[in-house]
């Protein structure tokens, strides 16, 4: 009996996605809840699991197709066996058209790749999400990579090593392909296609890559913020001496007790939580002709991911400890790299913190994340001469930038908010005594 595989619910307000990749091909045996396809939405990439165990008998949609929530993209036969199922709907099984002929490997992208992988290389089409993203990001051919994982599977480190070898001009260690069997009649196997010629010195090349759904959505939302909000940015600088000293003094004890490193982000999250109590408009939003004020703080923390910047949400940050904040951010960072963040984890923030300092940024004017009314930009720490008590001293300084929606937040409120953050960072005791 054939069972339909439908596009699952993708989150609030998301009605469709792009079929990014088939993880299984028609004719493959699948287990219940085993991912068979990867969908890319406006915010995350999600896997579509098989609802039952059986054989994937038919793929209805193609890679690159836009599919709606609830749409049928494949069918799985619970009673079939992999050996008796044709590899593709409508394909003829014959010596000149074997099962699987004409299929495009899920992530190969190499027009000279063989139609069928040698026995034992089936994992090429079932790479893990993290490995698939690394393959696409670095434009490497997985068929040419020798896997070091279990059962010869390719790991993310294998892909990165191949990309590094490609950049340096060295040839990565390739798999030894199985010798092709001679076809019926004793004819010799066809010679492999010739490799593409290397680029000539000084040759000018261009590459066109379709924007991912995530990148399209980011572009749309950022432009929307510029078009609708009355954005303005105010700046200040902060002496990081006290935070750096506290971090240096307690980092070992902190890590020993909580199992996580003490970073700077938790200090800023706590400082923002303190500041929004004095200036609630920065944590509010406009809905029509109404202002929505909140007694909670859900901080969107900008995290770098292979496909671009994502902003998972640290919920109820005002009630969290330093350790809870650091653990949550670290977990989100791991998920961002692996591409496993969920839609729920990236929606509903009320304020954003973006740390461009980790990339070396000295100063910037961050753009609002609608419908939020404020975003705090952190930057790199560098030693600069400052005047204190009539003396010029060298201190580790950081520029802070607050972009805000001037329709809702007055200039006085924005400056007051940024000063409150500055005071809390320069005197972290304020965070403890709620001052």
User: Looking at the annotation, which residues are catalytic?
Assistant: 406, 410
Residues pairing with 45 in the sheet? 40
- Rounded to whole angstroms, the Cα distance separating 369 from 367 reads 7
R_g of the chain, CA atoms, integer Å = 27
Buried b / exposed e over 319-356, threshold 16 CB at 10 Å, is ebebbbbbbbbeebeebbbbbebebebbbebbbbbbbb
Q: With DSSP H G I counted as helix, E B as strand and the rest as coil, what are the percentages for the chain, rounded to 5?
A: 30, 25, 45
Task: Provide the 8-state DSSP code for 83.
Answer: G
Bin 185: left if φ > 0, else alpha if -120 < ψ < 50, else beta. left
Residues 6+ apart with CB under 8 A from 78: 1, 2, 3, 52, 53, 54
Q: Give the end-to-end CA distance of the chain in Å, rounded to a whole number.
A: 67
- Rounded to whole angstroms, the Cα distance separating 159 from 144 reads 10
Task: Provide the 8-state DSSP code for 382.
Answer: E
Cα dist from 408 to 108, 229, 330, whole Å: 50, 9, 32
């Amino acid at each position: 009996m054939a069972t339909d595989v439908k596009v699952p619910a993708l989150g609030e307000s998301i009605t469709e996605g792009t079929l990014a990749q088939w993880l299984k091909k028609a004719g493959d045996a699948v287990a219940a809840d085993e991912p068979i396809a990867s969908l890319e939405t406006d915010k995350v990439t999600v896997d579509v699991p098989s609802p039952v165990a059986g054989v994937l008998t038919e793929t209805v949609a193609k890679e690159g197709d836009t599919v709606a929530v609830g749409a049928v993209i494949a069918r799985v036969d619970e009673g079939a066996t992999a050996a008796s199922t044709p590899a593709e709907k409508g394909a003829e099984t014959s010596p000149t058209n074997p099962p699987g002929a004409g299929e495009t490997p899920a992530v190969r992208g190499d027009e000279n790749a063989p139609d069928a992988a040698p026995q034992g290389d089936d994992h090429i089409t079932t790479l893990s999400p993290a490995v698939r993203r690394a393959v696409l990001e670095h434009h490497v051919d997985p068929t040419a990579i020798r896997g070091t994982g279990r059962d010869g599977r390719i790991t993310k480190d294998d892909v990165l090593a191949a990309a590094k070898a490609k950049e340096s001009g060295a040839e990565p260690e390739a798999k030894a392909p199985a010798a092709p069997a001679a076809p019926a009649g004793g004819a010799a196997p066809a010679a492999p296609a010739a490799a593409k010629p290397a680029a000539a010195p000084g040759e000018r090349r261009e590459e066109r890559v379709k924007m991912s759904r995530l990148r399209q959505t980011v572009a749309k939302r950022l432009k929307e913020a510029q078009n609708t909000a009355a954005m303005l940015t105010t700046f200040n600088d902060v002496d990081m001496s006290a935070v750096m000293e506290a971090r240096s003094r307690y980092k070992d004890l902190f890590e020993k007790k909580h199992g996580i490193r003490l970073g700077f982000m938790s200090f800023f999250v706590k400082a923002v939580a303190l500041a929004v109590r004095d200036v609630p408009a920065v944590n509010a939003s406009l809905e029509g002709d109404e202002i929505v004020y909140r007694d909670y703080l859900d901080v969107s923390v900008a995290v770098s991911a292979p496909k671009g910047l994502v902003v998972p949400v640290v919920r109820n940050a005002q009630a969290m400890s330093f350790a809870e904040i650091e653990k949550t951010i670290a977990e989100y960072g791991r998920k961002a790299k692996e591409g496993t963040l969920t839609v729920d984890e990236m929606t509903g923030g009320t304020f954003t913190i973006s740390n461009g300092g980790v990339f070396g940024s000295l100063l910037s004017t961050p753009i609002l994340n609608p419908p939020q009314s404020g975003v705090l930009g952190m930057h790199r720490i560098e030693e600069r001469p400052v005047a204190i008590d009539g003396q010029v001293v060298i201190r580790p300084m950081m520029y802070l930038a607050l972009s805000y929606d001037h329709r809702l937040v007055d200039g006085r409120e924005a400056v007051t908010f940024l000063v409150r953050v500055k005071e809390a960072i320069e005197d972290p005791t304020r965070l403890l005594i709620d001052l």
